[in-house]
């Protein structure tokens, strides 16, 4: 792997996905691209990088960029955002929205689907509180391969045991082969679409709640800011944004503010002032 070919791929991955690949990630590039090189009948990763620099077909470029993403996820990851949706965001929306209007939630960078299906379970459990309002969950990721897995809604024993209580597993999944399949009523609440967070979210509509978690950690500050500004165009003025526990808007954008006392969630901000009336309880 020559320095020039690695640097070219690193620039390509940054421009296409926002993912930062510095020289200390050479081992990751080697291990993630090795199977692709082999599948293409190439001797190894150096030859694949060389081909990418010479101008490989688009599907090969996309596959290589997608391979650099980390898809780690789990059901009800970090717990707190789900508690805050139940205790703060959902009750607010019930008051603020007319009963005929669906509550719209965006799981941005949804990976293999654990996050959107967790949201679907939560919203089913909140059923009474929502007063019959329909819930639409739009789940997006840049990787078509991981979206296919998410759409299938099939999880191994190991995957369902990460974050799901036995009660939730029993109620919302059915045994299938050696694993578990998500119940049809949850699948019906979620639609999966390919979307790159660096692009304008045109066509996805306006959301009441956005979860964009554990993806910005892989971006450099300019990329994080760009994504947050894109997300700001797709969130209702009284909407709520949840980031991952290691992520923040602070120092990146003025499009969102952290309400005083809030942990891990943000409000859109059009005038630079924290929305006092909508702070945490």
Ligand X SMILES: C[S@@+](CC[C@H](N)C(=O)[O-])C[C@H]1O[C@@H](n2cnc3c(N)ncnc32)[C@H](O)[C@@H]1O
φ, ψ dihedrals at 237, nearest 5°: -55, -30
Nearer to ligand X, 113 or 259 (CB): 113
Mark residues 104-123: x for contact with ligand X by CB under 6 A, - for none: -----xxx---x--------
Strand duo 135-141 + 103-108: pairing: parallel
- In the complex, the smallest distance separating the C-beta of residue 218 from ligand X, rounded to whole angstroms, is 6
Nearer to ligand X, 35 or 237 (CB): 35
Is 17 a binder of ligand X (CB under 6 A)? yes
Span from 12-20, 28-36, 45-53, 231-239 in contact with ligand X (CB under 6 A): 12-20
Residue 71 exposed, middle or buried by CB count within 10 Å (0-12, 13-18, 19+): middle
Is 215 a binder of ligand X (CB under 6 A)? yes
Looking at the DSSP assignment, which residues form a beta bridge with residue 194?
141
Q: Which tokens belong to 233?
A: 């165009």
The closest of 224, 197, 216 to 139, measured between CA atoms, is 197
- In the complex, the smallest distance separating the C-beta of residue 73 from ligand X, rounded to whole angstroms, is 3
Is 18 a binder of ligand X (CB under 6 A)? yes
Nearer to ligand X, 239 or 244 (CB): 244
SS3 assignment, position 25? helix
Span from 125-133, 156-164, 176-184, 194-202 in contact with ligand X (CB under 6 A): 194-202
Span from 49-57, 160-168, 208-216, 249-257 in contact with ligand X (CB under 6 A): 208-216
Mark residues 65-94: x for contact with ligand X by CB under 6 A, - for none: ----xxxxx---x-----------------
Looking at the DSSP assignment, which residues form a beta bridge with residue 193?
140
Torsion 162-167-173-179 (CA) sign: positive
SS3 assignment, position 79? coil
Q: Give all strands of the β-sheet with 179-182 in edge-to-edge order.
A: 154-155, 179-182, 173-176
Is 141 a binder of ligand X (CB under 6 A)? yes
Span from 39-47, 140-148, 152-160, 232-240 in contact with ligand X (CB under 6 A): 140-148
Nearer to ligand X, 61 or 94 (CB): 61
- In the complex, the smallest distance separating the C-beta of residue 256 from ligand X, rounded to whole angstroms, is 17
Q: Do 211 and 141 form a contact (C-beta atoms < 8 A)?
A: no
Q: Give all strands of the β-sheet with 207-212 in edge-to-edge order.
A: 190-194, 135-141, 103-108, 207-212, 235-243, 265-268, 256-257
Q: Which of 135, 197, 209, 228 binds ligand X (CB under 6 A)?
A: 197
Is 264 a binder of ligand X (CB under 6 A)? no
Nearer to ligand X, 33 or 146 (CB): 146
Task: Give the H or E element holding residue 58.
Answer: helix 58-67
Q: Do 197 and 18 form a contact (C-beta atoms < 8 A)?
A: yes
- The residues that touch ligand X, with contacts defined as CB under 6 A, are 17-19, 69-73, 77, 109-111, 115, 141-143, 146, 196-198, 213-215, 244
């Amino acid at each position: 792997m020559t320095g020039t070919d690695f640097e070219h791929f690193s620039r390509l991955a940054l421009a296409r996905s926002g993912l930062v690949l510095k020289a200390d990630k050479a081992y990751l590039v080697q291990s993630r691209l090795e199977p692709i090189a082999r599948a293409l009948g190439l001797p190894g990763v150096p030859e694949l990088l060389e081909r990418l620099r010479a101008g490989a077909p688009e599907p090969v470029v996309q596959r290589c960029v997608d391979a650099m993403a980390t898809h780690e996820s789990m059901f009800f990851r970090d717990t707190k955002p789900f508690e805050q949706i139940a205790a703060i965001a959902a009750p607010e929306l019930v008051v603020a929205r007319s009963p005929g209007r669906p509550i719209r939630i965006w799981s941005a960078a949804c990976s293999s689907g654990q996050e959107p299906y967790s949201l679907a379970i939560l919203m089913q459990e909140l059923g009474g509180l929502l007063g019959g309002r329909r819930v639409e969950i739009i789940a997006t990721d840049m990787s078509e391969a991981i979206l296919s897995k998410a759409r299938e809604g099939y999880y191994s024993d190991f995957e369902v045991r990460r974050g799901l209580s036995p009660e939730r597993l029993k109620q919302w999944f059915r045994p299938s082969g050696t694993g578990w399949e998500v119940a049809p009523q949850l699948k019906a609440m979620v639609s999966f679409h390919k979307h790159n967070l660096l692009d304008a979210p045109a066509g996805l509509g306006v959301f009441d709640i956005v979860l964009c978690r554990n993806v910005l950690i892989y971006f450099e500050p300019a990329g994080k800011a760009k994504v947050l500004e894109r997300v700001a165009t797709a969130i209702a003025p009284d909407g709520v944004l949840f980031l991952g526990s290691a992520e923040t808007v602070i120092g990146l954008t003025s499009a969102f503010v952290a309400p005083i006392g809030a942990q891990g969630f943000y409000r859109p901000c059009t005038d630079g002032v924290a929305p006092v009336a909508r702070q945490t309880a």
